[in-house]
Amino acid sequence: MTEHLDPELAAAIQMARRLSRRRFLAQAGLGAGALALGPSLLAACGGSSDSSSDGSSSGGMGDKELRISNWTAYIDQDDDGNFDAPGSTIALFQEQSGVKVTYKEDFNDNDEYFNKNFSPILGKGKTLSADIVMPTYWMAARIVGLDWVEELLLDQIPNHENLDDSYLDLAWDPGAKHHMPWQAGATGIAYDPSKTGGDLTSINDLYDSKLKGQVTFLTEMRDTVGLTMFGMGADPAKADVSDIDAALEKIQQATDDGQILKFTGNEYLRSLENGDIAACIAWSGDIAQLDPELGIKFAIPEEGGMQWFDTMVVPKGSPNQVAAAKWMDFVYDPENAARITEYVQYMSPVKGVKEALEAMGGDAAALAENPLLFPDEETTSRLKVFGELSQEDEIDIQSRFNDITG
């Protein structure tokens, strides 16, 4: 979508980069949604899309070029937004491997990408114009399940062993043979203590009538429903449908009562900064990047927080699978991973990043002590990934959730 953006808006986003990590456009339906209808309709009509090329889905072992589609502000770059500035991860990778990288920030939203690219292109057996894309875990699980993803060339990714153990026993991809996590984060609550009149510790604090009309929730169903489930004593990792139903009912009630002001993507940051809301459901990385002087606090609720991660997958039929393997191996080197962490300030799935940051000294070393990036064990034990949903349940729940979010 980035190339469709109004240049002015692109500039504004660039300026607000610090605040507008991702999901900014897509979730608000800003631009993205408005422009999306046309192309997706056309793509849906069965015509071929310009971003696809006909051909077999057997893929190829190319090692000369690599096309990456990622979320915005999700890799180190210079102030002008050049991804391949000297000393950047992409520049170093190109030097070392001889692979030419085309890097695009055109992954704005999981569902949007699915309905504009994965489904109409991969679903028709054509190939995507990207060799690595970074969907969120549940979307990765979906496309792995649909067999739209190439198996990784693990023998060419020795650094795969640096993958944090917690990612190795996921039900949808045991041993992580089809994906390698890019960055991870936690969903919790953010609040302005001057407005809430004290610290918030429980997700149910957001349902407290004291904060009526001063609270926003996320349009990301798994985050909002998952946290609400925690507050009701249910386990989102189990994703039990009756628990989800109860949570949806509670959210519906709070919406009708005027407790929840609105559902947002990461525009909640602007609302928090401007003092238009007192508290919200928020992503850890957003708050990590905020100006500390604002006094905004972030907490993983005592009942539990949602863990999520975006992950690298190679779409079916990619002609550059060797180059993709080289890239994954490169960014799983702790030093390279630390450089990316220093910029994006999310939790890294790569072992040894903390030590690498400490070795870098200065501001980077300070990040190694940041609990938002490296939560202690007690916090980690409270984080859970939303359980898997059957296709039918997922569509049903998503549509009922959409009815609530307005």
291 is a site residue for another protein (CB under 8 A): no
Q: Which amino acid is residue 243, in one-letter code?
A: D
Find the shortest distance in angstroms from Cβ 66 to another protein.
Answer: 26
Q: Which of 131, 173, 267, 329 forms a contact with another protein (CB under 8 A)?
A: 267
- For residue 53, the minimal CB distance to another protein (Å) is 17
C-alpha dihedral over 347, 351, 356, 357, to 10 degrees?
A: 10
Closest by alpha carbon to 166, among 353, 308, 336?
Answer: 308
The residues near 364 (Cβ < 8 Å, ≥ 6 apart) are 338, 342, 357, 358
Torsions phi, psi for 100 (to 5 deg): -90, 120
Site string for another protein, 30-49 (x = CB under 8 A): xx-xx-xx--xx-xxxx---
Instruction: Report the alpha-carbon distance of residue 195 to residue 353 in Å, rounded.
Output: 36
Coil/strand/helix, residue 13: helix
Among 4, 6, 199, 370, binds another protein (CB under 8 A): 6
The two three-digit tokens of residue 179, written as one number: 């994906």
Q: Any contact of residue 355 with another protein (CB under 8 A)?
A: no
Least CB distance from residue 71 to another protein, whole Å?
16
Pairing, β 383-384 against β 65-69: unpaired
* 3 interacts with another protein by CB under 8 A: no
Give residues with Cβ within 8 angstroms of 375, minimum separation 6. Answer: 186, 300, 347, 383
- Which ranges in 332-390 belong to alpha helices (H)? 334-344, 353-360, 362-367, 377-382
- With CB under 8 A as the contact rule, the residue among 71, 74, 83, 114 that binds another protein is 114
Question: Is 171 one of the binding residues for another protein (CB under 8 A)?
Answer: no
250 binds another protein (CB under 8 A): no
From candidates 9, 15, 241, 294, binder to another protein by CB under 8 A: 9
Range in contact with another protein (rule: CB under 8 A) among 7-15, 84-92, 196-204, 355-363: 7-15
- Contacts with another protein by CB under 8 A lie at 6, 8-9, 12, 28-31, 33-34, 36-37, 40-41, 43-46, 109, 111-112, 114-116, 119-120, 123-124, 142, 146, 213, 255, 260-263, 267, 270, 274-276, 391, 395, 398-399, 402-406
